[in-house]
Amino acid sequence: MAEQLANNLWRLEIPLVGNPLKALNSYLITGKRNLLIDTGFNEETCRKAMVEELTAVGVDLARTDIFLTHVHNDHTGQSTFLHRDGCRIYLSRIDGAVMGNLKNPTFWDKRYEKCIQNGFTKEETDGLRRVNPAQTKGPEPFDGYTYLEDGDKLHYGGVDLEAIWTPGHTPGHFCLYAPKEGWLFSGDHILFTISPNICDWEHVADSLGDYLESLGKVENLEAPHPFPSHRRVIGTVKERVKALREHHERRIAEALRIVTEKPGLTPYEIAGRMQWKIRSRNWEEFPIAQKFFAVGETVAHLDYLRLRGKVGYETVEGKNRYRAV
């Protein structure tokens, strides 16, 4: 059900069936032209919920532009379904290039080859191909995106907005900030009850380093009203930035300890020894999609350590095996 947050601002809760995130918070700024921020998966449950909530608010899609915080399908999936001629879909140029890769089978072949190098079995990657949400539920091909750059200004419903580039969760992630109102649409850059997944990305040397630096771009904003893409708000932006930094400091130390105590492990094996907040009794019971995200996050932390001279790896019989330096 649509929730009115201010005179011209609504939160639309879009269910993500079968996904641990449970739901997407889509936001709508209304005015002469409307702005819809993020859209949900390209699947029937999401479409039904979105149409019902937009109808309840009385939205005319012919006067509605769309702002995509980043490339993940739970944010972009319905964008082309909701788009009408003459309207805009905003997306970062960087994530626009990533989106092109996500539609390319060769990209995924290389990605799964890397998964095997990082310790997955061929059987696991075959299973992942069937369930990976990054390969399904995405938007239809579209070549008319309006690409954003850091600092670009938008104006909707009497609200001045600034697009802030916050790489880390994805290479081209953007937050949207309304300084007068104190609104920060944080996408997946800052979540308050769970930590955003930070994984390795092709052509990105240091995803975690980028993320930690990007936290500083929003840390001191006057934003008493943060609006994350998932779950609810607890505390302030500044408090959450501090907690997220501490979380990753613990993760970095944990990865280094494991590599030091048992050199020669693959990222898959290292991830299996790390602590995760998930409803599985052990690593073997992790759903394969969650293993994919966990290993990606582990690699991002290992990359961070490697670039700072703390760990290294060598490829032995097709597997990347890490050691402390």
Give the model confidence (pLDDT) of 98-120 as tens digits.
Answer: 998 888 889 999 999 999 999 99
Please report the pLDDT score of residue 278 as a whole number. 77
pLDDT tens digits, residue range 127-165? Answer: 998 888 788 899 999 999 999 999 999 999 999 999 999
Confidence of residue 280 (pLDDT cuts 50, 70, 90): confident
| Number of Cβ within a 10 Å radius of residue 109 | 12
Please report the pLDDT score of residue 136 as a whole number. 83
Q: What is the pTM of this model?
A: 0.96
Residue linked to tokens 């082309």: 80
Q: For residues 157 and 155, what is the distance between their CA atoms, to the nearest angstrom?
A: 7
pLDDT tens digits, residue range 75-101? Answer: 999 999 999 999 999 999 999 999 988
Please report the pLDDT score of residue 130 as a whole number. 86
Could you please state the CATH topology (level 3) that the domain comprising 3-250 is classified under.
Metallo-beta-lactamase; Chain A (3.60.15)
pLDDT tens digits, residue range 186-231? Answer: 999 999 999 999 999 989 999 999 999 999 999 999 999 999 999 9
Over range 3-18, report the average pLDDT: 97
Confidence of residue 184 (pLDDT cuts 50, 70, 90): very high
Q: Kind and range of the H or E element at 312? A: strand 311-316
Confidence of residue 12 (pLDDT cuts 50, 70, 90): very high
Over range 63-67, report the average pLDDT: 99
Please report the pLDDT score of residue 105 as a whole number. 86
φ, ψ of residue 266 to 5 degrees: the values are -80, 165
Distances (CA, A) of 220 to 168, 183, 211, 223: 18, 13, 16, 8
Tell me the helix, strand and coil percentages in the chain, rounded to 5.
40, 20, 40
Please report the pLDDT score of residue 117 as a whole number. 98
pLDDT tens digits, residue range 268-279? Answer: 999 999 999 877
318 pLDDT higher than 80: yes
The angle at the Cα of 226, spanning 225 to 230, to the nearest 5 degrees, equals 140
Please report the pLDDT score of residue 187 as a whole number. 99
Please report the pLDDT score of residue 281 as a whole number. 79
Please report the pLDDT score of residue 150 as a whole number. 98
pLDDT tens digits, residue range 225-270? Answer: 999 999 999 999 999 999 999 999 999 999 999 999 999 999 999 9
Q: Which of 62-66, 219-223, 285-289 has the lowest mean pLDDT?
A: 285-289
Q: For residues 279 and 211, what is the distance between their CA atoms, to the nearest angstrom?
A: 26
Please report the pLDDT score of residue 282 as a whole number. 86
Q: Please state, rounded to an integer, the average pLDDT across all residues of the chain.
A: 96
Strands 34-37, 23-29: pairing is antiparallel
Q: Six-digit token pair at 210?
A: 């980028």
Task: Please state the domain extents for the chain.
Answer: 3-250
pLDDT tens digits, residue range 18-53? Answer: 898 999 999 999 999 999 999 999 999 999 999 999
The angle at the Cα of 232, spanning 196 to 81, to the nearest 5 degrees, equals 75
